[in-house]
Amino acid sequence: MIPVALFLDLPALETVLLIGSILGLMLTEILNSAVEAVVDRIGPEIHELSGRAKDLGSAAVFIAMVIAALVWIGIAGPAIWQLFTH
């Protein structure tokens, strides 16, 4: 997605928003993986708080995905549409 953002002829701020949304999603996924690794390291037994930590990490990734999708639809969508219609 980052090469696509650089390819599109958009103002610098919009390009930064596109790239930032992808990097934010990647960062959230890395933090979620870290939480899951720590929870799994603590022990194999099932615990309510361990499940909640994993669920909240997954929810954070989902929210980051929604934000990235909205940014890309709002900014890149019209630019890509214009490439194919002109």
pLDDT of residue 27: 98
Question: What are 58-76's pLDDT values in tens digits?
Answer: 999 999 999 999 999 999 9
pTM (two decimals): 0.89
DSSP class of residue 46 equals -
Q: Is the sign of the CA dihedral 43, 46, 50, 55 positive or negative?
A: positive
Average pLDDT over residues 31-40: 96
Cα 4 from Cα 76, distance rounded (Å): 9
Best CATH choice for the domain 13-85 from the list 2.40.40.20, 3.40.50.10490, 1.10.287.3610, 1.25.10.10:
1.10.287.3610
Q: Is 36 marked active-site?
A: no
Q: How confident is the model at residue 17 (pLDDT cuts 50, 70, 90)?
A: very high
